[in-house]
């Protein structure tokens, strides 16, 4: 089961990282629904290539963390630190998914924008799946 969770989490992280890096390099496909929008449809956050690249690189690092934690790649980090990082990211992703924020999260207030629809159906559920997957991995390792 843990291998399937690692594979699913890795696929989600790779897809997310790929899109963010693509946007960082100037790609436009999907960019119209990549950032939270106010009720009138204007961006709530300024779009920058640096921001997109930063998120993409963070997602790549989290992917490496998952692969290192699972033993797929060898990282020069103690397993206890990898476990602590997996738990920390599980919390971060769960907070993102279950946020009561105005513009994002399953309990967001603004629900009528294009971004909000994508957030409801894709972004927040992906964060929820990742968070739950990370918790599962950490707990399954603790049981070993």
CA angle 2, 4, 8 (to 5 degrees): 115
Give me the phi and psi of 102, to 5 degrees please: -65, -40
Q: What are the per-10-residue average pLDDT scores of the chain (144 residues)?
A: 95 98 96 93 92 98 97 94 97 96 95 96 98 96 70
Query: What's the CA gap between 135 and 45, in Å, rounded?
Result: 30
Query: What's the CA gap between 96 and 125, in Å, rounded?
Result: 10
Query: What's the CA gap between 122 and 143, in Å, rounded?
Result: 31
Q: With a threshold of 0.85, does the pTM exceed it?
A: yes
Q: Report pLDDT for 141.
A: 81
Q: Report pLDDT for 66.
A: 98
Kindly state the tokens that stand for 26.
Answer: 């100037």
Per-residue buried b or exposed e for 66-104, using 16+ beta carbons within 10 Å of the residue's own CB:
bbbbbeeeeeeeeeeebeebbbebbeebbebbebebebb
Q: Report pLDDT for 144.
A: 64
101 Cβ neighbours under 8 A, 6+ residues apart: 108, 109
> Quick one: 52 exposed, middle or buried, by C-beta within 10 A (0-12, 13-18, 19+)?
buried
Q: Report pLDDT for 41.
A: 87
């Amino acid at each position: 089961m843990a291998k399937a969770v690692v594979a699913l989490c890795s696929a989600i992280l790779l897809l997310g990282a790929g899109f963010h890096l693509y946007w960082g390099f100037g790609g436009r496909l999907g960019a119209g629904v990549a950032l939270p929008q106010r009720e009138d449809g204007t961006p709530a956050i300024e779009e920058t290539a640096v921001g997109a690249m930063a998120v993409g690189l963070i997602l790549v690092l989290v992917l490496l963390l998952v692969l290192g934690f699972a033993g797929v790649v060898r990282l020069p980090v103690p397993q206890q630190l990898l476990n602590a990082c997996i738990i920390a990211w599980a919390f971060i992703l769960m907070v993102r998914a279950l946020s009561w924020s105005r513009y994002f999260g399953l309990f967001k207030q603004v629900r009528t924008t294009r971004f909000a629809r994508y957030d409801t159906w894709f972004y927040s559920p992906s964060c929820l799946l990742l968070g739950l997957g990370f918790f599962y991995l950490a707990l399954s390792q603790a049981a070993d």
